[in-house]
Amino acid sequence: MKILVLNCGSSSVKYELYDTELGRALAEGIVDRIGEERGVADHGQALELVSERLVAPGTGALGGLDEVDAVGHRVVHGGARFTSAVKVTPEVLTAIEECVPLAPLHNPPALLGIKEAMRLLPSVPQVAVFDTAFHAGLPPRAHVYALPYHLYRDHGVRRYGFHGISYQYVSQRLDVLLGGRLAELKTVIAHLGNGASVTAVYGGRAVDTSMGLTPLEGLVMGSRGGDLDPGVLLFLQQKLGYPVEEVDRLLNEESGLLGVSGRSNDMRDILAGVEAGDERCRLALELYCYRLRKYVGAYAAVLGGLDVLAFTAGVGENSPQVRELVCADFAFLSLRLDPQANAAARGCEAEIQAEDSAVRVLVVPTDEERLIAEETAALVLG
């Protein structure tokens, strides 16, 4: 089957045409700067441009749009309602709309993408794949905030978790790499991209995860600081007079590696800064790795042990230095890295623990588009 995978953000549409028989992408690309002066006007125009590219004589991957068997959409927030991927129906659209207050930046462009794809390809099935679904089974002790209960019951204020599409893909690969034994292994997966989170997995499902109601909770990220005393927000507003929009910007765009280093949200720049002796870059790197170490330790306690630690996404796949700093001093869990294997693992699947390590440590490059395509094909084939 040929599946068009769409990932619609507020100002960009990423696409990949995936062939499930060949097991690879036939085309991929991005239309960005949507709504900007020199860009395309809206998501409708962006999707028209995507389809023009796909069928362009000579360069396009398709003879005609009728070769597309289904469209798979990434939807960031599925709330408590969606525990797996679903075929899009009018009722599903309404339910995704109801999740907008939970993800005001992410769900509206995904909805636009679905509606425009339905307009362009009216007879093609559309499937929504949710970034929250992998975490749907989090037990109440892991997903309820210790706030007045009515906020949970009446307003859905709870922890949802994100990066679920990536966790599902990495879990499937881990199961293959570990000889079909993932379900019985106490596993922690760290997704370290520009956004970063970490998840404890047992029995093939998430049992705890570091992101919460929004992707702000948990690890230190590129421009988000993760866990924070909520009193800091009160201090900013009540004592320093920050308006709410500025608090929002500070939390989402000005914190994390960027906030601490004052340099960059990109781990490559932070590592280069450390090399050059920049103290604030060193502090940012230390905070980043220290926070993740604390989570790995906490999740070992949650799981009652640790059998597998896996790294994925931009930093996790490509930075031996971060992996080394995170794993250092975990000898009390009998976790030891093989320095050579760790140094050699860049952007490829690899096992990097030392021979005498009781914990297996793996690098598994993520492929969210592939997972979306496979989930979409499975639903359409029924």
Q: Which residues are catalytic?
A: 131
Task: Name the residue among 96, 110, 124 with its Cα closest to residue 6.
Answer: 110
User: Amino acid identity, residue 117?
Assistant: A
| Residue whose CB is less far from ligand AMP, 142 or 271 | 271
Using left for φ > 0, alpha for ψ between -120 and 50, and beta otherwise, residue 133 falls in: alpha
The least CB distance from residue 210 to ligand AMP, in Å, is: 16
Binding footprint of ligand AMP on the chain (CB under 6 A): 193-194, 222, 266-268, 271, 313-315, 318-319
CB of 270 to ligand AMP, least distance (A): 8
* CA–CA gap between residue 225 and residue 228 (Å, rounded): 8
Q: Would you tell me how many other CB atoms lie within 10 Å of the CB of residue 69?
A: 17
* Cβ at position 166, least distance to ligand AMP in Å: 8
- What order do you get walking across the sheet with 205-209 strand by strand? 205-209, 196-202, 187-192, 308-312, 360-363, 350-351
Residue 208 phi/psi, 5-degree rounding, is -160, 155
CB-wise, 9 or 193, nearer to ligand AMP?
Answer: 193
Q: How far is the CB of 314 from ligand AMP (least distance, A)?
A: 2
For the stretch 151-190, what's the b/e string if a residue is b when 16 or more beta carbons lie within 10 angstroms of its beta carbon?
ebeeebbbbbbbbbbbbbbbbbbbbebbeeebeebbbbbb
* Tokens describing residue 126: 């559309």
In the block, residue with structure tokens 């905030």: 145
> Closest CB to ligand AMP among 202 and 288?
288
CB of 347 to ligand AMP, least distance (A): 8
Report which of 45, 58, 60, 78 is spatially closest to residue 4, judged by C-alpha positions: 60
Write b or e for each residue in 220-256: b if 16 or more Cβ atoms lie within 10 A of its Cβ, otherwise e: bbbbbbbeeeeeeeeebeeeeebeeeeeeebbbeebb
CB of residue 313 to ligand AMP, shortest distance in Å: 4
Q: Which residue number places its CB atom closest to ligand AMP?
A: 314
